[in-house]
Structures are given as C-alpha cells and as structure tokens.
A and B are shown apart, each in its own frame.
Chain A
Amino acid sequence: MDAIYTKNLTKEYDGFKAVDNLNLKVEEGQIYGFLGPNGAGKTTTMLMLLGILKPTQGEIRIMGESLSKNPLSIKKKIGVVSEKQYLYREMTAQEYLNFFADLYKVKNKKNRIEQLLAAVDLLDVRNRKLGAFSRGMQQKLGFARALLHEPELLLLDEPVSGLDPTGIKQVRDLIEKENKKGKTVFISSHLLSEVEKLCNKVAIINKGKLLAEETMENLRKKLTEFTQLEVELVEINKDILDALSSFEFIKEIHQEKNFLILKITTDKDHRAEISAAIAEKGGVVLGIKIREMSLEEAFITITQKNISLLASNKEATQ
C-alpha cells in the first residue's frame, strides 16, 4: 500500500498552475524527500495532501484511502510539522500538547507528552508560556505535537529550519527513530543537504512539475554524472575557447578572469586532452584542479541554476 499516492494532481490559481499534473508514489516506511526551489509548488502540494487546499484536478490517496472521501479520519493518521510554528502564545507547552492530545484522542496522554517533551529537550520548560519560546524551541514543540498521536505518516515542511546544529541532530534522530518504528516520512525542503542523509527516495519539483523521482542512490549517481575542472591560464583567447567547445565531454564553459571553469562528464580523466588542446592554440596552462561538486550544486544544476535559491542556500547554511 502506498502511503501517499497522487495522480495528475493540479492546482490552478487564476490560470497559473502552481502544481501541474503531479504524480507521486510514496511507499509505506520510506523517508521521502520532496525537493524544489522556493515557489516550486511544494507547500501547495503539502496543503493539498492535508486537505487544506482543494486540488483543481487530480486524485490523492493517503494510506490507501481517498482524501476527498474521508478527510477527517485520514488527517488523524498524519502528523505535520510546518516550517513556521503557529502556537497559542498564552498556553504553556504542557497545555498545548494536552490540547492536541485531546483533539487526537491520545491514550495515556500524560506519559506520551512527558516522553515527547523529554525527546525534544523541552521537559524543563513545559510550564512556560509559548510566547516566551525561541524559534528553535517552537520548532521542537511542533515536532512533539506532530508525533503526539503516533501518526502513520509524517509530513514535514522544512523541518530543521531555524534549528541550531544540536536541534538539527535531535530532530534527525527523531525522524530516524520514528521511521524505524515503521512510519512513513515525507520531507519537503529546498535544501538537498537537509534530506540527503535521511531520505531513501527523492522527488524534485520545479514550477509545479515533477522533474525527477529517484532513489537517493540513483540521484546521487545522476547528480555526480558531471564534474568541474578549474583551469588556470596565463591568457585566455577565442581560439582556446573554440577548441574546448568542440569537445563533446565538455558540457559548459565558464570564464572567471584567467580561470576557465569546465563542466565535464565523469566517464574518464580528460585533463590531458584539455591541456593538449590549450597548448595547441598557444595557451599556457598554469594549473588544472578538479573542483568537487556537492549534491547541492548538482541539485541546483538540475533545477536550472536558480539564483534566488543560491541566495537562500547561503542564508540557510550560515
């Protein structure tokens, strides 16, 4: 049985397709990464999976049940952590979890709440008003809320956003722990690094369309199909550029002062061929370095080198 199954899922806003014929298949027990740059349609998809937004077209099945037919009982099987936590500021952490435990009819709620508060390191501040919580604490509390009713499916939207490294580790451990218990985890993120250590399978979406859906292993392979060479020259002329362009294994040439950044296939070492070609055209090679391409860079390559994404990546990693 698929934990999440969507067929031709589409959401249109006044003629603009935020999600375009999206077909997803998340198997039970998987940790599924849902990647894409900002504005790609991830949140819209998440909201449709939660029944908060009505699809313009298409079908959603969660745990084998049609979402449109039985939304309330399906939602009881889902735990959600959004990027930003929306809390009742006048409540304490204990009261907040108590409220949601009641809402989801959690059995033995006292123990469960204590256990989760301990897991996210908030047990000591359980009687503090949520208005006084830091962003990281709020995020961890959101996690506790999402896990409260032991959901079969966890939908996580940018789950580690705003967390410090310890917090990130705590959350990752929690996700892995829950996954080991047999829970399916669906992580939506614009950072590949955030999901690459956790996910078994990844889907990449951009402009509402599914670009790729691969196992993490395959994706890694595909993303590392190319590498970059950094060639330092005394001088760069047009003849050199023309000569390099004629090679099939060179996919992209980018000039930075007296450096040439070459994107090449990784089938074999092409450095000798490149030096020979440059020398033939009168160029003087000062050095050639292989520039390791991270998954992140590869992901950006796939999603069309989104500049805004680059900016937000920097922010996120700072």
Chain B
Amino acid sequence: MNEKGISLSAHTMKVLIKRELISSIYGWGLYIAVFISFLLSSFILRNFMRGIGQNNIFISSYPLNLPLFISVVIISLYLVIVSAISISREKEHGTLEVLFYGPVSSSSFLLGKYITDMLLYVIILGFFAVYFLGVSLLTNLGFTLALGKAFLVSIFLASCMISFGLFISSLTGRVRSSIVWLIGILLAFLGIWFLENIFIHIPPESLSSWLLYIQKTLSVIYHFVNWVSPFSYLSRGMESIRIGSIKPFLLNIIYSTIYTVVLLLLSIYILKSKGVRA
C-alpha cells in the first residue's frame, strides 16, 4: 500500500472509530457491564475485609488484584461478546455493505473495530482507576505498583479477547450464529479443562488402552487450548503479576501481541474471502 493509501486507511479508521465509540458511549451496555463488574468486586472486597477482620492480618503485595481480576474477567466477557457480534451485526443489517461502497477496506474496517474496542477498554480502565482509587481511600488497601502493572497487562489481555471476538465475528454472518459459536467454543474450552482435570487423577496404568488414548489426546488438546483460549492469556497475565518477575510479565505481553496479530490477520483474510454480505 502506498503512502496515500495508508493515509486514506488511517483516516477511514479514524472516522469508523469515532462513530463506534460515540455509539458505545451513548449506549447503556458499557456502563451496565462496568457496574456489574464493580458490584462483584465490591462484594468480594467486602468479604475480603471481613476476612482480614477475622484473621486480624493479611499479607500481600497485591491486595486489590483479585477484585481487579474479577472486574477484568467480567469486562472481558462483555468485550468478547461485543466484538463477536460487531462484524456479524453489520453484515446482518447490511451496514457493512454500505461502508464498503466507500473508501473502506477489510483491513481498515477490522482494525477500526479492534481499535474502537481497545479504546473502549481504555475508557473502562479509567473507570477502574477511579473505582480502585476510591477503594484504596475507603479501605486503605494500597493502590500499589502491582495494581498499575495489572492495569497494563490487562490491556494486552483485553486485546486477546477482542481479537478472539472479532475472529468469531468474521466467521459468521449473523448475530445469532456468532453468539452460538462463541458460547460453543467457550463451553468446549471449559469442557476440555474439566475433563483433563478428571483424567489427571486417574493413574495411567489403571486405564484401558482406549481411555489412555482419550487421556493423552485430551492432554494434547488441553495444551493446544492453553494457547488458543484468550482466557488462558488472562490467567497467565495475572499470574505473571503475582510472580512479580519481569520475564513472564514481558513474555506474556509478547505472546498476547502475537495472538492478537495472528487473529486479526486471520479475521481480515476471512472477511475478505467471505465478503461483506450475511
């Protein structure tokens, strides 16, 4: 793409992002998702404070990381749903076709969607910052450096979630099928994790050959899912903060970035080859 083409795409993305952001900001979805996440966090924090009251002390480098983790999980679910239906909804309503009448390409449209959702997450992070600062002032649970790190890592986790959602959305032409696919895939991930955990408690020598085959297969799939599921990146990221070591922290950021890039490229390719019609 030449310089003119790049600037045209950048302008297109900017306009698309502006429209989507305004649409999200004026909608209720964002605020309700953040409210639910804060409500759960408040519930956890209240129990946590009661726990400290009963045990008298609690030792931690990151006391607010668990509520933040819960908030990030809820928001991730919101983001993955929003992104999973974003393309399919435009396909289904035909608005995607109208956009493509103009100077919109698959890549500018998809990157626009991705950046919009990322900016949405940055706005949500603003809410997080206010909430956790309020929590810190109210409870004296410190707004620590680890929390700042968790904020930073969560951006990359949100990126994985959004790109995963966009990937699902690019595969489907209707909102309903996007949701069905998303739920199906997430349930499959959960099922594999559950089965793997059952099998790990059975000694290999107690299994018949076909059960052994299932166990080994599940183990392979489980490891595969660990790299495919965006939630794995979420738990790995939070773990890297818990560890407090810079290497896994940076590695997780790199892995998340690679995951995002791969999924976005795949989504662009799929959107190009499947077209803009539902």
A residues at B contact (CB < 8 Å)? 50-53, 71-73, 75-76, 78, 80, 82, 84, 86-91, 99-100, 102-105, 145
Contact = CB atoms under 8 A, between A and B. Distances in A.
Interface of B: 4-5, 8-9, 11-12, 15-16, 18-19, 23, 26-27, 93-95, 97-105, 275-276
Contact of B102 (A75, A82, A91): A75
Given A88-B23, A103-B12, A104-B103, A72 B98 contact: no
A105 B11 contact: yes
Contact of B8 (A52, A53, A73): A73
A73 B104 CA distance: 10
Q: Which 6 A-B pairs have the closest CB atoms?
A: A86-B94, A80-B101, A102-B15, A72-B103, A103-B15, A86-B95
5 contacts: A72-B5, A82-B97, A103-B104, A104-B102, A104-B103
A62 B5 CA distance: 18
A76 B98 contact: no
Nearest to B14: A102
Nearest to B19: A99
A173 B109 CA distance: 35
B12 A82 contact: no
B97 A52 contact: yes
Contact of A86 (B4, B97, B105): B97
Nearest to A99: B19
A102 B102 CA distance: 11
Contact of A72 (B9, B16, B95): B9
A105 B7 CA distance: 12
Contacts of B100: 50-52
A73 B275 contact: no
B139 to A, nearest CB: 39
Among B4, B97, B276, which residue has the most Cβ atoms of chain A within 10 A? B97
A91 B104 CA distance: 20
A50 B8 contact: no
B103 A76 contact: yes
A280 B265 CA distance: 81
A80 B94 CA distance: 14
A72 B7 CA distance: 11
A72 B5 CA distance: 8
A90 B275 CA distance: 25
B97 A72 contact: no
Contacts of B23: 88, 90-91
Contact of A52 (B11, B16, B27, B276): B276
B101 A72 contact: no
Among A53, A76, A99, which residue has the most Cβ atoms of chain B within 10 A? A99
Among B8, B93, B99, B102, which residue has the most Cβ atoms of chain A within 10 A? B102
A91 B102 CA distance: 19
A103 B27 CA distance: 22
A75 B275 CA distance: 17
Contact of B103 (A73, A82, A86, A145): A73
A52 B97 CA distance: 8
Nearest to A90: B23
B101 A78 contact: yes
Given A71-B105, A76-B102, A104-B102, A52 B275 contact: yes
Given A82-B97, A88-B95, A103-B103, 16 more contacts: A52-B275, A73-B103, A76-B103, A78-B101, A80-B98, A82-B98, A82-B101, A86-B93, A86-B98, A88-B23, A90-B27, A102-B18, A103-B15, A103-B16, A103-B104, A105-B11
